Chains A and B, each alone.
Chain A
Amino acid sequence: MKTEVRKSDEELITAILANDTDALGELYNRYYKKVFQKCLSLVKDPDEAFDLAQEALLKAFDHLKNFRKDSSFSTWLYIIAHRHCLLALRKKNKNGVQSTEALDEEADRLAENTDEVEHRIESEAIMFSLINQLPEADKELLFLKYREGESIEALQQKLQLSTSAIKMRLKRSKEKLNNVYVVALSVGLAEALAMLA
C-alpha cells in the first residue's frame, strides 16, 4: 500500500518558493483551523474570526518570500494572524461598532505582545548565530553562564580559574559579542559574522 509521506512546513515552503503551487493548498489546509482558533481567541466572534483567518493566511502566503526561517513557520504565521486581528479590532473600534475601553486596552496589550514576541525571536536568532561563531572558550563560558545559569563559583570550579579571571573573561566575551551584535543590527548579520570568521 502506498503511504503518503507528510511533508514538514519547511519542505512545503521550499516547494512553494520553487513554484510548486500544490503545496500552497496543503499549507492552507494544515493551518486554516489553527489560525481560526487563534483569531477566535482574540476577536471572540467566530463569524469574524472565520474571515480574519482566511485573510491572515492569504496575507502570509503573499509574503512568504519574507519568511526568514529565524523562527518556525507557525510562529511567523501566528504573528501575522495576531496583527491582522489586532488591526481588525482597531478598525472596528474606530468605526464605533464596539467601542469599549477594555477592547482598546486588549488591542494595545496584543500589539505590545506581538511586537515583543517578534522582536525577541529576531534578537534571539541573531544572538544565537553570533555566539555560535565566537571562539570555543568564549562560547562555552557564555552558554554556561547565561543559558545554563551557572554561578561564578560553579564556573570557577569547573574551569579551574580564579573568580576575577572568570569575571574578566565573561566581561571580554560579552564585549566581543556586544560589538558584533551592534554591527549585526546596524549593518547586517552577514557582516557581523564575517568579523568573527
Chain B
Amino acid sequence: MTKTILYPFRIDHDFRMGYAWSAELARRLRGRLSLFTTVAESSGESLEEVYHALADAQGFYVKNFQLLQLRLKPVRSERNFLKGDFLPTFRDFVSRDLPHILVLPSPIFPSDVIKEYIAAGQPLAVLPSIQNPEIPTTRRDRSQWFIGMLKDVALYNVPASFFVTISEDQGLFNSIAAFFRK
C-alpha cells in the first residue's frame, strides 16, 4: 500500500523549504505526497495564486535537492486545495483520511493542535520555522540537505523502519537512528 505523506501549507508563509522536504520524504519513502491548503474567499486569494506559489516551491525543490542532477524524477503530488478556514477545514480533512505521516510546519499550527495529533498516535514530523534557508553551495552538501535537516525536525510516533527507507547510506542511517534513540 502506498504511503501518504500529507503536507499542509499556507501561501502567506514561506513554505518552499517545507514543501521541498516533504516532497523529498515522499520520494524516499516511495510514497504519495498529498498537499493541503485552503483558499479563503474573504482573503481574495485565488486558486491560481496558490498554484503560482506552488510552482515556485517546485522549482526551488528540484533545483536545490539535486533531483535532475541525479537523474531522478520529482515526485507527483495530489493537491487538496479546499475552500474554508484553514484549521477547521484541515482537521476535518485529516479525520476523514488519515495520512501515514503528517508533516506539520510549526509556525502555522498552534502547539495544542500538534500535541493532540501526538497524543492520538499519529506519525508526525514537525518542521521548525525556516526563514530564508541557507542553501548549501556544494553539490555534495545539497545532496545531503534532506538528511541534514532531520536534526531540526521533531519526529513523533514514527516507526524505526522509517529511517531504513529514507536513507540508502547505511552509515548515515546508523548515525541518524542513534541520534533519535537517545
Contact = CB atoms under 8 A, between A and B. Distances in A.
A, B: real partners:
yes
Interface of A: 21-22, 24-26, 28-30, 32-33, 36-37, 40, 46-47, 49-51, 53-54, 58, 61
Contacts, number: 55
Contact of B62 (A21, A25, A37, A46): A25
Interface stretch (B49-57, B90-98, B167-175): B49-57
Contacts of B28: none
Contacts of B55: 32-33, 36, 50, 53
B83 interface: no
A50 B56 contact: no
B121 interface: no
Interface string B60-104: 101110111100011010010000000000000000000000000
A33 B61 CA distance: 13
A28 B59 CA distance: 6
Contacts of B51: 36, 40, 46-47, 49-50
Contacts of A40: 48, 51
A25 B58 contact: no
Interface residues of B, number: 23
A50 B79 contact: yes
Contacts of B149: none
Contact of A46 (B47, B63, B73): B47
24 contacts: A25-B62, A25-B63, A25-B64, A25-B66, A26-B63, A28-B59, A28-B63, A28-B68, A29-B60, A29-B63, A32-B58, A33-B59, A37-B52, A40-B48, A40-B51, A46-B48, A46-B50, A47-B51, A50-B51, A50-B55, A50-B79, A51-B76, A53-B55, A58-B73
A58 B71 CA distance: 10
A47 B55 CA distance: 11
A40 B46 CA distance: 14
A29 B59 contact: yes
A127 B63 CA distance: 38
A54 B60 CA distance: 13
B22 to A, nearest CB: 16
A54 to B, nearest CB: 6
A54 B56 contact: no
Interface of B: 47-48, 50-52, 54-56, 58-60, 62-64, 66-69, 73-74, 76, 79, 139
B76 A22 contact: no
A124 to B, nearest CB: 31
A32 B62 contact: yes
A112 B43 CA distance: 41
Contacts of B62: 25, 28-29, 32
Contacts of B67: 25
Most A CB contacts (10 A, CB to CB) among B50, B58, B64, B79 go to B58
A26, A46, A49 — which one has the most chain B CB atoms within 10 A of its CB?
A46
A61 B68 contact: yes
B84 to A, nearest CB: 18
Contacts of B74: 54
B139 to A, nearest CB: 6
Contacts of A58: 73
Nearest to B61: A29
Instruction: Rank and list the top 5 A-B pairs by shortest CB-CB distance, nearest first.
Output: A25-B63, A29-B59, A29-B63, A21-B69, A24-B68
A45 B50 CA distance: 13
Contacts of B56: 33
Contacts of B79: 47, 50
